[in-house]
Amino acid sequence: MKMKLEGTFAVLMTPFIGDKVDYVTFEKQVKRLSGTDVAGYVVNGSTAEFIHLSKEEKKKLVEIVANVRDADKAIIVSACEPNVPDACEICEHAKSVNADAVLICPPYYFCNTAEEMTRYYREIANHSPLPIILYNIPFFTQELGLDIIASLMRHDNVIGIKDSSGNMKRIMHTIHRAKGFDFNVLTGTDDMLFPAFVGGCAGSMTALATIYPQTISSIYRLVKNGDLEKAREVQHSILDDLRRADSQTFPKGYKRLMEEVSKMKFGDKGVIG
């Protein structure tokens, strides 16, 4: 039976002290989500600045989540790597700590044809011991075309997609193409949770679910229960904070908001620092 991919998933952030990962604060961040209504954790995603992490750091972060997770919450591990062997290594490690699925964006840096992107995903899906979630993130890599998604959703080891395009038209077409398949569409954009859930998204994977787990989970729950007026009201309540977070270079604005709300320091690591 395939994993049930639905609900709100919290995309974890990576705290830094200088150039070093702050594992103590990271663990506190995970424990802060204990007892909340989020369906699970996303480790080493975009908001976690995975491009700044070594393989060893990524694995240690996954292991921390595995050790302190709530038993009823899933672990989704980002395996966004520009080549098949490295992605498969992360998949194998995720399986070894009892994670539930892996999240994979298209290979980045070089442009790839639709055929090459499809082959990349198929190779990983054929070898991964965990189910695959596609990741459409056109801000940082190539767009996953609808025909590519339609082809991959037929693979037994591909269970869904996180779409962070912010394009509701595209998301609706993806949901339509997925009819009849055991394949769920989730949004990765906090600004449009309400319309995405109303339109048929089975859930979300977002940074704000880490900052405001109960608030973000409530939008999903309210839509599911048919209380659309209240769900729309909650959606509007987070827009000011989202504009503040997006006024800074990603993901610094979200880390500053997290610091403000959680009273934990997350620091920054990057070329500019």
Q: Examine residue 158 and state whether it is found in any structural domain, yes or no.
A: yes
pTM of the model: 0.95
Closest alpha carbon to 83 in 53, 105, 56: 105
Question: Which residue range(s) make up the domain with 164?
Answer: 7-262
Q: Examine residue 71 and state whether it is found in any structural domain, yes or no.
A: yes
Kindly provide the residue ranges of all beta strands, DSSP E only, lying in the chain, ordered along the sequence: 7-11, 16-17, 20-21, 40-43, 74-78, 101-104, 132-136, 158-163, 184-187, 203-206
Please say whether the dihedral angle defined by the alpha carbons of residues 208, 209, 214 and 219, taken in this order, is positive or negative.
positive
C-alpha to C-alpha distance for 60 and 78, rounded to whole angstroms:
13
Amino acid at 195: P
Q: Examine residue 187 and state whether it is found in any structural domain, yes or no.
A: yes
- Packing angle between helix 114-127 and helix 84-96, nearest 10 degrees? 30
- The 10 Å Cβ neighbour count of residue 229 is 8
Q: Examine residue 70 and state whether it is found in any structural domain, yes or no.
A: yes
Q: How many domains does the chain have?
A: 1
Closest alpha carbon to 256 in 13, 46, 51: 13
Contact 210, 258 (CB under 8 A): yes
State the 10-residue block means of pLDDT for the chain, 273 residues long: 87 95 98 98 96 95 98 96 95 98 94 95 98 96 95 97 97 97 97 98 98 98 98 98 96 97 91 49
Q: Examine residue 39 and state whether it is found in any structural domain, yes or no.
A: yes
Q: Looking at residue 223, which CATH number applies to its domain? A: 3.20.20.70
Q: Examine residue 123 and state whether it is found in any structural domain, yes or no.
A: yes
